């Protein structure tokens, strides 16, 4: 008897008989791996080989160094190898299972970079006598030596709270003229009407309050922000002086009226009403200054800012012959 083509190929011949519902069914005659819902072992994805582990094992068996091992890997495989080396023992839980990549040593900041070391060891002014000689301190000292300490760059975004940030300029900023030929404010690039201001910069470093005398080149608008508290107190004092002069003049006029009329009727009521109007006007004026005080500065404020500007080093006084002789004797005694 001649074999069918299914028997020749070794496949299961489909059963074309009708089932109870009268329809032909092919599923009953299919092999288990081809039935719906069954695991298809013949088409399952095989486990991908770990080329990195194989390369490391091969290099270890051949006695190669760590450098040679990394040198023979690709960029991505080298990145994985370094990540495993740096995160070894860090991403392990108490049970021995490793954490996911989202909680690796890199994502949690356990691996410090040069930038992290600089932020931890940087100082606004360094004292060579207080250096501990560690590698971190030497790295911060190298960065500090590259800064230019003639003028500072200011951050005046919180000037109303009295919180002002200052830092030294970098070489690129010096070449571009930032902070000297343009405004020293971080968010300003004005190049006209610049003045130098000498500021006693108080800051907190290593848990201690320190002070440094620094210079900043600013335009009038940014100079107003730098001296905001002083200008505000100066304006308040100026208003008080004007009010006192006005009060003295009004008191003199009232005395003249009293002498003419011989009485003080209505003086108290008028004074209370006038005082209330003056307080309301003062509050309105302060509000307008808070909104746009630095943009609409009057001539008096500009003159006061010019007075605050740094006028250069003080000229040395000419020493007399007696002063020079005293200095000579002091040097001999010391």
Q: 169 or 91, which is more confident?
A: 169
167: confidence class by pLDDT, cuts 50, 70, 90? very high
CB of 29 closer than 8 Å to CB of 13 = yes
84: three-class secondary structure by DSSP:
helix
DSSP string computed for 142-202: HHHHTSEEEEEEEEEEEGGGTEEEEEEEPHHHHHHTTTTTS--BTT----SS-EEEEEEEE
For the whole model, what pTM was predicted? Answer: 0.52
Distance separating alpha carbons of residues 247 and 275, to the nearest angstrom:
11
| pLDDT confidence of residue 184 | 94
pLDDT at 100: 46
- H-type helices in the chain, by residue range? 5-9, 51-61, 66-71, 75-86, 114-121, 135-145, 171-176, 220-226, 228-261, 267-292, 299-308, 321-333
pLDDT top residue among 145 and 266: 145
Lowest mean pLDDT among 6-15, 58-67, 163-172: 6-15
Query: Under DSSP, is residue 89 helix (H, G, I), strand (E, B) or coil?
Result: coil
Distance from C-alpha of 106 to C-alpha of 91, rounded to nearest angstrom:
10
pLDDT-derived band at 298, boundaries 50, 70, 90: confident
Which residues are bridge partners to 198 per DSSP?
215
| Rounded average pLDDT over 190-199 | 90
The answer on pLDDT for 320 being more than 80 is no
Instruction: Give the mean pLDDT of 92-102.
Output: 44
Backbone phi and psi for residue 37, each to the nearest 5 degrees, phi listed first: 85, -10
Q: 62-66, 233-237, 319-323: which has the highest mean pLDDT?
A: 233-237
- Secondary structure (3-state) at 39: coil
């Amino acid at each position: 008897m001649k074999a069918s083509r299914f028997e020749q190929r070794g496949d299961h011949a489909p059963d074309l008989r009708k089932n109870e519902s009268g329809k032909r069914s092919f599923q009953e005659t299919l092999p288990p791996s081809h039935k719906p819902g069954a695991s298809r072992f013949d088409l399952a994805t095989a486990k991908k080989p770990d080329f990195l582990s194989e390369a490391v094992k091969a290099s270890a068996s051949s006695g190669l160094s760590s450098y040679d091992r990394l040198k023979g890997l690709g960029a991505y495989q080298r990145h994985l190898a370094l990540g495993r080396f740096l995160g070894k023992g860090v991403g392990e839980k108490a049970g021995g299972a490793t954490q996911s990549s989202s909680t690796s040593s890199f994502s949690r900041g356990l691996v410090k970079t040069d930038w992290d070391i600089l932020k931890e060891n940087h100082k606004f002014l360094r004292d060579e006598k207080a250096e501990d000689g560690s590698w971190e301190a030497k790295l911060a000292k190298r960065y500090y030596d590259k800064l230019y300490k003639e003028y500072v760059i200011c951050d005046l975004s919180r000037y109303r709270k009295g919180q002002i940030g200052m830092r030294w300029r970098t070489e690129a900023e010096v070449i571009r003229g930032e902070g000297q030929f343009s405004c020293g404010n971080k968010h300003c690039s004005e190049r006209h009407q610049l003045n130098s201001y000498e500021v006693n910069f108080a800051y907190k470093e290593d848990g201690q309050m320190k002070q440094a005398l620094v210079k900043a080149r600013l335009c009038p608008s940014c100079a107003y922000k730098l001296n905001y508290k002083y200008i505000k107190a100066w304006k308040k004092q100026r208003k008080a002086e004007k009010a006192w002069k006005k009060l003295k003049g009004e008191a003199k006029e009232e005395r003249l009226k009293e002498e003419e009329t011989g009485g003080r009727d209505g003086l108290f009521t008028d004074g209370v009403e006038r005082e209330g109007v003056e307080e309301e006007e003062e509050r309105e004026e302060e509000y307008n200054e808070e909104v746009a005080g630095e943009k609409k500065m009057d001539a008096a404020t500009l003159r006061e800012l010019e007075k605050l500007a740094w006028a250069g080093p003080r000229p040395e006084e000419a020493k007399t012959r007696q002063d020079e002789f005293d200095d000579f004797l002091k040097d001999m005694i010391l």
